Amino acid sequence: MSEDKKDQLITINVDGKDYEVPPGMNLIQAVEKYAQKEIPHYCYHEKLSVAGNCRMCLVEMGTPMRDRATGEPILDDNGVQKIGWMPKPAIACNSNTSPGLHIKTDSPLVKDCRNGIMEFLLVNHPLDCPICDQAGECRLQEFATEYGRGYSRFIEDKNVKPKRTRLGPRVTLDDERCILCSRCIRFSQEIAKDDVLGFVDRGSYSTLSCYPGKELANNYSLNTVDICPVGALTDTDFRFKMRVWFLKQAKSICTESSVGVNTVVWAREGKIYRITPRQNDGVNDTWMSDSGRRLYNLVESEMRLLAAKFKKDVVTTEKAIEKAVDILKGAKFGIVGNTQSSVEEMAGIQSLAKSHGAPVMFVGHIQEGDDLLISKDATPNTRGALLTGLTKALPYRQRDVVGRNLKKGEMKTLVVFNEDLIEAGVDKSLLEQVDIIYVGSQQNATSEMAKVVIPSQVVFEKAGSFVNQNFRLQKFEACIPAPQGVKSDAAIITSLRAGLGDEDASSSLAKIWESLSSDVKEFEDLSYSRIPDEGVQLDGSRFDQLNYIETGSLHYEAQPELAETA
Amino acid sequence: MTQSDWIDLLVKAGLGLTVIFSLMTMAGMSVLAERKVCGFIQGRLGPNRTTLPLIGSIPIIGRAITRLGLFQLLADGIKFLFKEETVPGHVKKFYYNLAPIVVILPSLIAVAVLPFGTYTNAEGVTAPLILANVDIGILVILASSSLGVYGTVLAGWAANSKYPFLGGIRASAQMISYELALGLAIVPVFLWANAPGSDVALGLTGIVSFQESHWFVYLMPFTALLFLITLFAETNRAPFDMAESETDLVGGFHTEYGAFKFGMFFIGEYAHIVFGSALFVVLFLGGFNFLPMLADPWPAGILGAVLSTLWFIIKTAALIFLFIWVRWTLPRFRFDQVMHLGWKILLPLAIVNLVVVMIFLAIITPTAS
Amino acid sequence: MERKPLTLAEKTYMPQIVSGLGITFKNMFRKKVTMEYPEVKPPIPEGYRGQPALVKDPDGREKCVSCQLCEFVCPPKAISIIPGSIPEDSEHANVEKAPEEFDIDMLRCIYCGLCEEVCPEEAIFLQDNYSINGLSREELVFNKEKLYDIGGVREDEHFKWKKKKEAEVSGNPHH
């Protein structure tokens, strides 16, 4: 943490070694961050309140001794202050750092405690790792190997509980595996603000349950699956689909809204199996919406464009680009950009527009926000369009730019990037007057009308970066290979530019960033490889006068009211 | 020509074909024998599976033939015949095709002057069975068998690649080296046989009849040994199979050959062996004569001719067995060892041997028997 | 080391050749070691690693629960599994998971036996069949049905899932 001030640091002692830590910090976190030691825990979660019910994080704790009457430090024979060890271990999750605190994280007593806790937890835990989706990323498995006794002393019958309870449309509960850590309950209460979960019954009969007449149906329900330390809560969609150890992870950014949720995409052999949130304390903490997790369906959707077309005939992508260049040559054309495009693609579009005097138009996309992780702007890169200079106004504040431009009748051709103009309300008769070159991943009414259709990659197949509502520049990696013949937008734009005679056309991210960092003030000194995983905060003050649509969300405060400008 | 001339010619041609056919069959059988004996020596069974549907299912005989591997001969032949004839692109086509023929031809020519049996007619007149009873038989053999190396050299050169070339070079070097010792090992035989009063000259029938009572193999054992060793070298047999030498030359001169052309090399090699064995029998083992110091028991008429020929074939087969036996016993020489043995040991020994025999003959002065 | 000088006989090498010939001649009449394979089969020792196959338990339940550990451990990646769930109305619904597809590419399989070793359900075993042949590549990718045909039923020591099901019915007053 950058706000740690040196003079405020205090000293704690972990397993005989001193560490400088900030005061009042949660002990589990402090030990992990400063002493690089893991205190095993189940119920504690960084972003949730402390429950202290799993008892896994027991450590031995002691403070420097002082005389009760005088407050004088009590010294030992060597003149060092004595440590008053507590007679019993205490839970680390509910303790904060304090000056002179001493803890032992691997003393025989602590190990014994963990061993005992593990044995209790496993008493009624079924032996179904082979069929459990959590296997491979299960805290219970991990700690059982590290601290478990390795065999069972329990000869009685294990508790039998329901194995497939439906908690909601997307979440299935396996009661037997539940270790009653209550993370899911606290998440529903504190983050999702949808208090539907609770424990019923007592002792070993305790089960997680929805309140009568309610179900776990909110748009953040799958976060409970993520934070479940065992395999009790499972994603109904991902259930039994693939073991996690086969999945390759790639860091990506959710395109659901301008919040720019950080994600991990889990894929095997070119097929995406699930998307989970990636911790970014400046954006989404450790959460993401359920709807964002389903965006991978775009990859194999029925509407996916997989073949280039010229006048409805399937041609190779190269041929289609050639034809598009032929059409663009000579005639005046306009470009319909898209705030779904990455910064790099926008830079390409900008160069294309600049060198050929083509106007760039946008269509706004507005959706219902939820003030948590979905904003009202339904595209991830509106700020990117502003920064690259592709637009001066906010797309969603403009009315039918495309229609108005077409009415002037100057443009003969329209290059459309992944946008459905019919759906956006542009007059069909106006569109019929121009040749449309459609570059996009999904089929729609506009692509049906287009003279040339060039298929492009979806966000999971390419690399690039987005600028979110906070003016935070975040990059995403390619997670899966693109279908044969389907090129990235950047490559297509580069081919178009090269065909039209632009000499500096390049689709390499490094090259694009070279020109971006020199052209755009906010991108100064940046390059693609230098963007860290958690993103870079840019200075967006240049655009303060714009009337953004976003209301507040997790780490974003709505801008002060501005007079309506349109 | 008169009618009898025609008949004579046809009979001669028929005899010639028969002899060639027998030689080829024996070569084929030697291939089988080689595989069988090799198997036995190594504790294996050798070819024992190949069978023909009908003949193979005859109760006892069919099984015996199958186990002996006799059908294998047929199968191998058919295989060589029907395999795709591939000719590598880099070879010299004409010589490439010529080489296998040149390899197989010499032994076919030389066999013409080889006496392989005897025929006594009703009047008691004895005539050797021979295709061409010329009195320069051994010269014909020496002349034609030396041509055999041309096939090898040609194959190695025409293949136009490294290993065959090396194989060809080795073959020619070896052939030249051992030819000398071979020739010098034959001379004593003719010296002895051409005792004053004999009309043997350089014909082989005379050599055979000379050995009616005593065989040269025990009269001149050292000469026989010299001849045998050089014979091994001349036929390119282990331990002198420098030209093939799988371990260092892949396949030697026939690396680039396949299918029927390879088959011709293969059969040519064995024809050499058969012929070499027969020559040794003629020169040192008394030819078709029964046993030393015993009168030939061959009756007059056809039966005698057949029996004497069979006896000759049996002796030859024994020699062939020796060839095979030696191959699976001795390791291959290194090339420099071959050269060393040929020039520095065998050649001087052969000269010394010749001188000794000459002196010996001068002392005892044998007469024609 | 100083060597004994060779005698004249040794130098000629002839006695050695003769004795060598003697040895090979003797060998010709030894008992042949050839095993005439298709008629005579070699004895297959216990624990032989032949063709892998899936097995069912004595109740006819397919033991594989598609945990995919074998797929993971398989060095030549011969195994490919598509996991599936057991329908709730099935007799073995309490097992929940079973392979939808289970293919072993016998052309890739190297018979290492790691799949058998790693299987937590004792569902895959290497059989004693070592002669696996077919006329096409496709034919040698054995699917689930074929693997169960080959594997058949195997004795079970644990009946883990059956016991669990019984406990569900009788053992727990809670439900």
Kindly report, residue by residue over B109-139, the tens digit of the pLDDT.
888 888 888 777 777 777 777 877 788 888 8
CA distance B345 to B339: 9
What are the backbone dihedrals phi and psi of residue A246, each rounded to the nearest 5 degrees, phi first? -85, -20
Contact between chains at A163 and C94 (C-beta distance less than 8 A): yes
Q: What pLDDT, on the 0 to 100 scale, is given for residue A134?
A: 92
β-bridge mates for residue B290, sequence order: none
Q: For residues B190-215, b (16+ Cβ closer than 10 Å) or e, as one string? A: bbbbbbeebebebbbbbbbbbbbeeb
Where residue A5 falls among pLDDT bands split at 50, 70, 90?
low
Q: Is the pair C, A in contact (3+ CB pairs within 8 Å)?
A: yes
| Residue A162: closest C-alpha in chain C | C175
Contact A120, A113 (CB under 8 A): no
Q: What φ, ψ does residue C56 adopt, rounded to 5°?
A: -105, 160
The answer on pLDDT for A35 being more than 50 is yes
**pLDDT for the residue numbered B171:** 83
Q: Do chains C and B touch (3 or more CB pairs under 8 A)?
A: yes
Asked whether A124 and A158 are in contact (CB, 8 A), the reply is yes
Domain segments of chain C as ranges: 52-156
Find the CB nearest B41 among C28, C31, C36: C28
pLDDT band at A246 (very low <50, low <70, confident <90, very high): very high
CA of B328 vs chain C CAs: smallest distance (Å): 8
CA dist A437 and A432 (Å) reads 12
Residue keyed to tokens 């991108």:
A523
Q: Are residues A83 and A128 in the same domain?
A: no
Q: Give the nearest chain A residue to C163 (CA atoms).
A: A157
Distance from CA of A124 to the nearest CA of C (A): 12
Task: Evaluate whether C106 touches C140 at the Cβ level (below 8 Å).
Answer: yes
Q: Which positions in chain C touch A135 (Cβ < 8 Å)?
A: 67
Measured CA to CA, the distance from residue B246 to residue B237 in angstroms comes to 13
Residues A326, A456, single domain; the answer is yes
The Cα–Cα gap between A17 and A4 comes to 21
Q: Chain C: residue nearest B346 by CA?
A: C12
Dist CA A53 CA B5 (whole Å):
124
Confidence class of residue C172 from pLDDT cuts 50, 70 and 90? low
* Distance of residue B83 Cα from the nearest chain C Cα, in angstroms: 23
CB B292 within 8 A of CB B214: yes
DSSP state of B76: H
> Does A272 reside within a domain?
no
Using an 8 Å CB-CB cutoff, list residues of chain B that contact chain C: 37, 39-45, 325-326, 328-330
Q: Name the residue among A251, A280, A279 with its Cα closest to residue A470.
A: A280
- Reply yes or no on whether the pLDDT at C171 is more than 60: no
A310: which strand partners? A313, A452
Radius of gyration of chain B, Cα coordinates, nearest whole angstrom: 22
Averaged pLDDT for residues A57-75: 89
What confidence score (pLDDT) does residue A115 get? 93
Check pLDDT > 70 for residue A561. Answer: no
* Adjacent-strand bridge partners of A14: A17, A103
Write out the residue range of the structural domain in which residue A93 sits.
Answer: 6-106
Does C27 sit within 8 Å of B40, measured CB to CB?
Answer: yes
Residue A285 region, left (φ>0) first, then alpha (ψ -120 to 50), else beta? left
Closest by alpha carbon to B233, among B323, B154, B320?
Answer: B323
Of the pLDDT bands very low, low, confident and very high (cuts 50, 70, 90), residue A78 is confident
DSSP secondary-structure letter at C52? E
**Mean predicted confidence (pLDDT) in A350-374:** 90
Measure C131 CA to nearest chain B CA, in Å.
20
Residue whose C-alpha is closest to residue B193's, from B163, B213, B179, B167: B213
- Tell the burial category of C172 from Cβ atoms under 10 Å away from its Cβ (0-12, 13-18, 19+): middle
Q: Which two tokens stand for residue A552?
A: 């507040």
Q: Is residue A252 part of a domain?
A: no
Q: Measured between CB atoms, does C171 come within 8 Å of chain A? A: yes
C-beta of residue A184 within 8 angstroms of C-beta of residue A226: no
Closest Cα of chain B to C64: distance in Å?
44
Q: Which of C26, C32, C36 to mutate to test the interface with B (most CBs of B within 10 A)?
A: C32
C128 contacts C46 by C-beta, under 8 angstroms = no
Helices (H) and strands (E) in chain A, counts: 14, 24
* Interface mutation vs chain A, best among C118, C122, C164, C170, most A CBs within 10 Å: C164
What's the alpha-carbon Rg for chain C, to the nearest Å? 28
Distance from CA of B49 to the nearest CA of C (A): 10
What's the CA gap between A255 and A468, in Å, rounded? Answer: 10
Per-residue pLDDT, averaged over A135-163, amounts to: 88
SS3 B30: helix
Q: What is the spatial distance between Cα B230 and Cα A321, in angstroms, rounded to a whole number?
A: 79
| Inter-chain CB proximity C17 and B43 less than 8 Å | no
Residues A62, A180, single domain; the answer is: no
Q: Does residue B283 register a pLDDT over 50?
A: yes
- Please report residues of B whose CB lies closer than 8 A to that of C11: none
Nearest-angstrom CA–CA distance, A409 and A388: 27
> Percent of chain A having pLDDT more than 90?
65
Helices (H), chain B: 3-41, 59-68, 70-82, 93-110, 137-158, 162-193, 204-210, 216-219, 221-234, 246-249, 259-284, 302-327, 335-340, 347-364
Looking at the structure, do residues A436 and A533 belong to the same domain, yes or no?
Answer: yes
- Is residue C128 a contact partner of residue C57, using CB atoms and an 8 Å limit? no
DSSP, res A276? E
- Residues of C in Cβ contact (< 8 Å) with B45: 32, 34, 36
Tell me the C-alpha distance between B2 and A557, whole Å: 130
Question: Which residue has tokens 């880099």?
Answer: B90
Q: What is the CATH number of domain C52-156?
A: 3.30.70.3270
Rounded CA separation B303/B301 (Å):
6
B300-358 per-position pLDDT tens digit = 778 888 888 888 889 999 999 999 999 889 888 888 888 888 899 889 999 999 999 88
Determine, yes or no, domain membership for A253.
no
* pLDDT of the residue at A1: 45
Range scoring the smallest mean pLDDT among A160-164, A263-267, A451-455: A160-164
CA distance readout (Å), A433 to A423, A427, B161: 18, 11, 72
DSSP structure class, residue C120: T
pLDDT, chain A, mean: 90
Averaged pLDDT, C76-98: 90
Q: Using CA coordinates, name the residue in chain C closest to A206.
A: C174
Are B186 and B227 a contacting pair, CB within 8 Å?
A: yes
Task: Tell if the CB–CB gap between B328 and C24 is shorter than 8 Å.
Answer: yes
C-alpha B335/C-alpha B255 separation (Å) is: 19
Confidence class for position B53, pLDDT limits 50, 70, 90:
confident
The count of C-alpha atoms lying within 13 angstroms of the C-alpha of B159, restricted to the half-sphere facing its C-beta, is 27
Query: Average model confidence (pLDDT) for chain C?
Result: 88
Chain C residue nearest residue B326, CA to CA? C21
Q: How many CB atoms lie within 10 A of CB C95?
A: 25
Is the Cβ pair B325, C23 closer than 8 Å?
no
CATH code of the domain containing A225? 3.30.70.20
A254-268, B185-199, C143-157: segment of lowest average pLDDT: B185-199
- Which tops the pLDDT comparison, A494 or B302? A494
Rounded mean pLDDT of B86-103?
Answer: 86
Q: Token digits for A357? A: 């005097």
Q: What's residue C173's pLDDT?
A: 52
Size of interface A-C (CB pairs under 8 A): 58
Confidence check: pLDDT of A4 > 60: no
Whether residues A377 and A466 share a domain: the answer is: yes
Residue of C nearest to B38 (CA): C28
User: Over 50: is that where the pLDDT of B162 sits?
Assistant: yes
Residues A379, A458 within the same domain: yes
Touch criterion met for A and B (3+ Cβ pairs within 8 Å): no
B209 confidence band (pLDDT: 50, 70, 90): confident
Query: How many residues can be counted in chain C?
Result: 175
What lies within 8 Å, CB to CB, of B94 at 6+ separation is B158
Q: How far apart are the first and last CA of chain A?
A: 41
> Which residues numbered 113-152 in C keep a CB inside 8 Å of some CB on A?
120-121
Q: Which residue would you say has higher pLDDT here, B213 or A248?
A: A248
| Out of C21, C33, C36, closest to residue B43 by CB | C33
Q: Which residue has the tokens 């065999």?
A: A151
Cβ of A245 and C96 within 8 Å? no
Overall number of domains in chain A: 3
Residue B69's nearest CA partner among B103, B43, B30 is B30
CA distance C34 to chain A (A): 47
Distance CA A367, CA A214 (A): 26
Long-range contacts of C98-102 (CB under 8 A, 24+ apart): C98/C62, C98/C64, C98/C65, C98/C66, C99/C62, C99/C64, C99/C65, C99/C66, C99/C144, C100/C66, C101/C143, C101/C144, C102/C54, C102/C64, C102/C66, C102/C143, C102/C144, C102/C147
- Counting one residue from chain B and one from chain C, the pairs whose CB atoms sit within 8 A come to 36
Chain B positions in Cβ-Cβ contact with residue C40 (cut-off 8 Å): none
Asked if A52 contacts A61 with a C-beta cutoff of 8 angstroms, the reply is no
CATH of the domain at A503: 3.40.50.740
B140: pLDDT strictly greater than 90: no
Are B333 and B240 in contact by the 8 Å Cβ rule? The answer is: yes
Mean pLDDT of A97-107: 92
Lowest-pLDDT choice from A77-86, A193-202, A378-387, B54-63: B54-63
pLDDT in tens, A207-244: 999 999 999 999 999 999 999 999 999 999 999 999 99
Residue B129, classed as helix, strand or coil, is strand
Across the range A2-19, mean pLDDT stands at: 80
- Does position C4 have pLDDT exceeding 60, yes or no? yes
Q: Give the per-residue pLDDT at C142.
A: 93
Considering only CB atoms, which residues of chain C are within 8 Å of chain B?
Answer: 17, 20-21, 23-25, 27-34, 36
- Which has more confidence, B18 or B197? B18
% of chain C at pLDDT higher than 70:
97
In total, chain B counts a number of residues equal to 369
Contact B325 C36 (CB under 8 A): no
Are the Cβ atoms of A246 and C96 closer than 8 angstroms?
no
CA distance A400 to A566: 12
Single residue among A226, A243, A260 that ends a domain in this structure: A243
CB A181 within 8 A of CB A175: no
Q: How are the residues of chain C apportioned to helix, strand and coil, as percentages rounded to the nearest 5?
A: 30, 15, 55
* Separation in Å, CA A266 to CA A232, A248, A272: 20, 5, 6
Q: With 80 as the cut, is the pLDDT of residue A91 above it?
A: yes
Q: Is A42 helix (H, G, I), strand (E, B) or coil?
A: coil
Using an 8 Å CB-CB cutoff, list chain C residues near A240: 66, 83-85, 96-97
Return the residue of C nearest to B39 by Cα: C28
